[in-house]
Amino acid sequence: MATSVLLTGAAGRVGSAILGGLGQKYDWQLLDREPPPTGRDEEVTYSDHEYSVADLSDRAAVREAMADVDVVIHLAGDPRPEAPWDSVLANNIDGAHTIYELAIETGVEKVVFASSNHVVGHYETSRTPEIYRTADSYRLDGSELPRPSNRYGVSKAAGEILGRFFHDEHDLSVICVRIGNLTKDHPPIDYERGQAMWLSYRDCAHLFDCAITADVGFEIVYGISDNDRKFYSLDRARERLEYAPKDNSADFAEVEPPQ
């Protein structure tokens, strides 16, 4: 029987990348506070799967969606880097706590938490733009302390730490994926930072596939393609999750400025 996976925030962009690649591979439960998007992405057929419309603050609805699943991929939350504090406090920090707590209550084995490059955004401050270029060997690898670049990043760092707590306390498997810059078809144009942290749709689906199947306790990994330009190490993702990305923003030479 296929592994059963709850995808929160299913209607968002990361959700569509995951479902586009893995829609047939797992037994999906979808949850979002918005109804399924229409017409945006013909590769994803939301109607193939059970879909609940509920906010994370509706604990009963979230619990029901989580009742019979093995794994939760938790994408839901306010995704705006510029989101105000009250929103990220409620939607991202309190929301993540709800997911972890219900995962323990319902016997879920693993939570894959959508974290963000904004958790470590301020490491870039003193090294730009060199840090975005191929010649720079500087790497963040997930062992560094958070240095968020905004309140959204603070909230994602808190979600990681909540995951660590629920892992240590309850032996829940938790994998935090610090997602880079997810764009479809090609890397961001004229945006070196975005090219350095580009994550293609197929690498995104593959990375979450790896996270679903990996046998790990707690991990923080970076979610980017195998870009020539990079300042995030892929070592942990390769070693612990067997992530094998296929894309590289440098292969889209026409959209790369001179190095």
Residues that bind a copy of itself (CB under 8 A): 85, 89, 93-94, 97, 101, 122, 125, 143, 145-151, 153-154, 157-158, 161-162, 164-165, 168-169, 220
Cβ proximity to a copy of itself, 75 vs 162, nearer residue: 162
| Least spacing, CB of residue 142 vs a copy of itself, in Å | 9
Q: What 3-state class would DSSP assign to 18?
A: helix
| Least spacing, CB of residue 197 vs a copy of itself, in Å | 19
Q: What 3-state class would DSSP assign to 36?
A: coil
| Least spacing, CB of residue 170 vs a copy of itself, in Å | 11
Which residues on adjacent β-strands are paired with residue 32? 53
Q: Quick check: is 132 catalytic?
A: no
Cβ proximity to a copy of itself, 13 vs 118, nearer residue: 118
Residue 167 to residue 165: CA distance in whole angstroms: 5
Residue 243 to residue 140: CA distance in whole angstroms: 17
Asked if 112 and 26 touch (Cβ cutoff 8 Å), the reply is no
Q: Which of 46, 100, 132, 152 is catalytic?
A: 152
Cβ proximity to a copy of itself, 53 vs 90, nearer residue: 90
Cβ-defined contacts of 22-31 (< 8 Å, 24+): 22/205, 22/208, 22/209, 23/48, 23/49, 25/209, 26/2, 26/212, 27/1, 27/2, 27/3, 28/4, 29/4, 29/5, 29/65, 29/66, 29/69, 30/6, 31/6, 31/7, 31/61, 31/62, 31/65, 31/76
| Least spacing, CB of residue 103 vs a copy of itself, in Å | 14
Cβ proximity to a copy of itself, 95 vs 223, nearer residue: 95
The owner of tokens 């016997």 is: 107
Cβ proximity to a copy of itself, 147 vs 202, nearer residue: 147
Which residues on adjacent β-strands are paired with residue 123? none
Q: What 3-state class would DSSP assign to 74?
A: strand
| Least spacing, CB of residue 119 vs a copy of itself, in Å | 9
Active-site amino acid positions? 152
